[in-house]
Amino acid sequence: MATADVVIIGGGVAGLFTLDQLVRDGHQPVLLEVSRLGSGQTVSAQGIIHGGLKYSLSGTSSASALGVKQMPAVWSECLAGTREPDLSDVTLRSRSCLLWRGGSLGSRLGYLGARLGLEVTPRRLEPGNRPPLLADHPGPVAEMDEPVIDPVSLLESLARRHRQRLFLYDPDRASWQLEGPGSVSGLCIWHPWDNLPGSMLQLAPSAVVLAAGAGNARLRQQLGLSATATQKRPLHMVMVRGEASQLPELFGHQVDGAHTRITITSDRDSKGRTVWQLGGQVAEDGVGMSRRELVDHVAKELAEVLPGLELDGLEVNTYRVDRAEAATPGGGRPETQSLQIEGNTLTVFPTKLALAPVLALEVAAAIGDLVVRAPGGMSRSLETIDWPRPEVACPPWESATDWLPLAPGAAVRKAA
């Protein structure tokens, strides 16, 4: 029997942040992962630590805006190493994001920032201080102190410090002992591929945290809980890549009324090329499109949104990914992070990567009421145990194949 007072299932940003928080609170948690850490949403995320403005464009002070408004400051302290968890080894892609649109955006943004009391107030950029791609943009361009991080380096940072608590497992080679719906008395996992006698771990946690993203629905069913408490919202994301001389790094949103028409974040691939991830409305619209239709749509969108961008020579690819969240009555985006407690099972969804620190604190507070801390340090059996450990997933552009040329009609022409 291994000593673990809390078992966390799923090693995305939610599970790893919670693991780190519980260790700092003196608990003895372990984390079970089915695949690579962050597979699914975290590794696909654009990494923007939103401060709420994006959610305030409709002019109402929604809970989304109010809940996330502290996040840029909280993350900035973690990234600077002045607040736990110390994330000073996480790659900061950008300190700020841009916001641009034609018309009277500048005055409207100022009004919104003041009215909502947002910590992140957009500053208008003079034409001389804008990135070259937006130098000739006819409307105002604003800059917000919303940091953009590399989610892969975040996963690596958190995983590195708790490696001995991470276990790769196969859910089909696990058996739960239940006393009622959501009331877990034990969990037995077998080694993922070793059938030798004794290649198993018996755990008797006081609490179980389901942090498996899209996997939470099935896990909840296994624990006798309703799977309808969760929802998925699909996205069809786009990636554009090119040499750094043609495709400069850019971070920001082009807004259109209350919608984010396109959100662009940038990174470098393993060959030093710039890769843009394109989200926002374009990824929502892409859900109903084939890959080739979306590629053509994006070429047209980019030509309108960034007319100075030379598309010839750039390559494009797409990937589908579901956002996994707590269910809402209309199926729309939940306002904030979610924690549901049934028996000694906690089902969690951060809703946004940015909200993982608050979610981890909420989980820790709830666990404090459920769990009697195990005495002493980590049990010897856990420290020395010989077991496969999960690796961190790679970003979507490293696994994508069959890139297409980016030019209006190019995808269709290539198919013909």
Ligand X SMILES: Cc1cc2nc3c(=O)[nH]c(=O)nc-3n(C[C@H](O)[C@H](O)[C@H](O)COP(=O)(O)OP(=O)(O)OC[C@H]3O[C@@H](n4cnc5c(N)ncnc54)[C@H](O)[C@@H]3O)c2cc1C
Is residue 10 at the binding interface for ligand X, with CB under 6 A as the rule? Answer: yes
Count of chain residues binding ligand X (CB under 6 A): 41
Is residue 279 at the binding interface for ligand X, with CB under 6 A as the rule? Answer: yes
Q: Which stretch binds ligand X (CB under 6 A): 32-40, 179-187, 374-382, 405-413?
A: 32-40
Task: Write down the least CB distance from residue 99 to ligand X, Å.
Answer: 14
Q: Which of 7, 14, 225, 309 binds ligand X (CB under 6 A)?
A: 14
Q: Which stretch binds ligand X (CB under 6 A): 10-18, 78-86, 182-190, 374-382?
A: 10-18
Identity of the amino acid at 385: I
β-strands 207-210, 345-349 pairing: parallel
d(CA 99, CA 54): 9
CA distances 229 to 111, 130, 355, 361, 368, Å, are 37, 45, 20, 22, 24
Q: Which stretch binds ligand X (CB under 6 A): 29-37, 118-126, 129-137, 376-384?
A: 29-37
By rule CB under 6 A, what string of x and - marks binding of each residue 168-187 to ligand X?
A: ---x----------------
The separation between CA 304 and the C-alpha centre of its own chain, rounded to angstroms, equals 28
13 token code pair: 């940003």
**Which of residues 321 and 410 has its CB atom nearest to ligand X in the complex?**
321
8 Å CB contact between 398 and 152: no
d(CA 107, CA 228): 43
CA distances 77 to 16, 71, 81, 355, 382, Å, are 18, 10, 6, 15, 32
Is residue 39 at the binding interface for ligand X, with CB under 6 A as the rule? Answer: yes
Is residue 352 at the binding interface for ligand X, with CB under 6 A as the rule? Answer: yes
Q: Which stretch binds ligand X (CB under 6 A): 26-34, 195-203, 310-318, 364-372?
A: 26-34
Q: Of 40, 47, 11, which is closest to residue 321 (Cα–Cα)?
A: 40
Task: Write down the least CB distance from residue 197 to ligand X, Å.
Answer: 24
How is 230-256 classified by DSSP, letter by letter?
A: EEEEEEEEEEEEE-TTTS----EEEEE
Tell me which residues in 185-244 interact with ligand X (CB under 6 A): 211-213, 215, 219, 235, 237
Task: Write down the least CB distance from residue 244 to ligand X, Å.
Answer: 22
The footprint of ligand X (CB under 6 A) covers: 9-15, 32-35, 37-42, 44-48, 50, 171, 211-213, 215, 219, 235, 237, 279, 321, 323-324, 349-354
